[in-house]
Amino acid sequence: MSVVYFLVILVGIISVHELGHFAFARLFGVDVLEFALGFGPKLYEKKGKKTSFRVNLIPIGGYVKLAGEDPTEEQKEGLIGLYSKPAWQRLLIFFAGPLFSILAGYLLFAMIVSAWGVPSVSVAFVERNSPAFEAGLTADDIILSINGKRVYDTYTVSQIIREGRPVKLVVLRDGKKLTLLATPQIFKGSHFLVLRDVSGEVGESVKEISGKPFEPSYLSSMTNQYISIDFGSVSLKGLLKQYQYDPPRYALGFYFATVSTVFRKDIGPFLKGDRLISVDGLQIQNNVDLSRVYQLISTGEGGIYVEIFGDKVVWSHAGLGEQIVVEVERENQKVSLAVSSVLLKEILESAGIFEPRSENLKFKNLGEIILVAVDRCNNLLFMMYKSLFGIFRSADQGGVVGPLGLVGLVGEAAKVGLEQVLTLVAFITMSIGLFNLLPLPALDGGRIVFSFLEILLRRRIDPKIEGLIHLVGFVILVLFMVFVTFSDIGRLIAR
């Protein structure tokens, strides 16, 4: 079903984009020869006066064919071609596709905000004696804005805090808005270790690693090797299976809330409404605890998971075995369940299993709905802009997702609900609009550049040169998409 959903969404998104080109072409009197959904052999065709409306066999997009669209093509008699129009009109025709794509995103977000509101950024828990604790931030606070900027995601909050400057947080607590002032401080580097086949004990602070200084670079080089962690009075030995290091950073000392511990659907022995209380005696209160349980399952029996901030051990626990005793609260009664670690790991990896920690923020005033939707779209567009240019600044393409990757994303969103599907659709259509505005040959942005140059130079660029440049750009674009598709396949195989 994920493939079907994806194809329907893709055809819809591309159709909106092409509708922009179609509408502006007709506005300026350019003849449109074809408006097609899909590619390849036709399945259905309805011929208009000058335009054929087609549904083609391969449903992976669509296109609009304009008369005289190829700058090297001879103009057919009786047709008004694209290049018979002045450069400013052609510029607007090329610009209309991306514009419609982006406007579709704004319209979708207005619908989403009206029906479901916006995601809230809430706090899971606050570390004692941290800047957040001193400022008065508490668990379950909802962060509405930071330094006057409305927030819809944890990324925005984290990025502003990591600048290290004093921040003003407006939070919602028990229905009331509060303003809190805090100054981020440098938090020491964090180390996360998974060891197996262990012996010995965990101490309070690390002195040495296998007789050498406690350094991230050394630990990284020791993955899949046996190490000895010296804590002074005690030591711990084992096979280092996983190691992650987060460098020093400015922070306030609180964790974001993502999901609650309440099941939103029946799965395995768990029922909708069950609230997790403990896993093998480990108390579960928030998503941070759920994340730790996942690490303990991955660690396995006979291993240990250790969290170290600076050189101080802040949390450690033995890995979990194949069978786990899970305690839940069901209809105000405690129920103990024997669950396999494999099943629990699958549950923790799946989207939409647990209820969100806090409800979306909803708005009743139409004006506020529109303002919030526009503001959220503006933020997304800015993030997309930075991400797109980040692709060309870095050789790492890990963040680029092609058609196969989008199939997976659509499938995951569908599991959560209609809100997530529409949000993903809005994100994709805005991304397509912004990507097409890049000043690259074969893209709308490249054609806009040629039209703009013609306006500035007051003369037409040689059609043969323009056609060749767009052809080369098209080949490069196809190769790029092939590369991204193979990257998607690699990610699927790695799962």
* Other beta carbons within 10 Å of 4: 11
CA distances (Å), origin 160, targets 119, 189, 239, 308, 459:
19, 19, 38, 25, 47
Active site includes 127?
A: no
Spatial separation of the C-alpha atoms in residues 326 and 269, rounded to whole Å? 10
Copy the structure tokens of residue 339.
Answer: 């669950």
* Per-residue model confidence as pLDDT tens for the chain (495 residues): 566 767 778 778 888 999 999 999 999 999 999 998 877 888 888 888 888 998 888 776 678 888 887 765 666 677 888 888 999 999 999 999 999 999 999 999 999 999 999 889 999 989 989 999 999 999 999 999 999 999 988 988 999 999 999 999 999 999 899 999 999 999 999 999 999 999 999 999 999 999 999 999 999 999 999 999 999 989 999 999 999 999 999 999 999 998 899 999 999 999 999 999 999 999 999 999 999 999 999 999 999 999 999 999 999 999 999 999 999 999 999 999 999 999 999 999 988 899 988 788 888 888 889 999 999 899 888 878 777 655 444 444 445 555 445 555 666 666 667 888 888 889 889 988 988 888 888 788 888 998 999 899 888 877 777 777 777 777 776 666 655 555 544 544 444
Under DSSP, the state recorded for 358 is: S
- The contacts of residue 134 (CB under 8 Å, 6+ apart) are 182
CA-based angle 96:101:102, to the nearest 5? 100
pLDDT for 398 equals: 47
Give pTM, 2 decimals.
Answer: 0.74
Under 8 Å between Cβ of 50 and 466 = no
pLDDT for 493 equals: 47
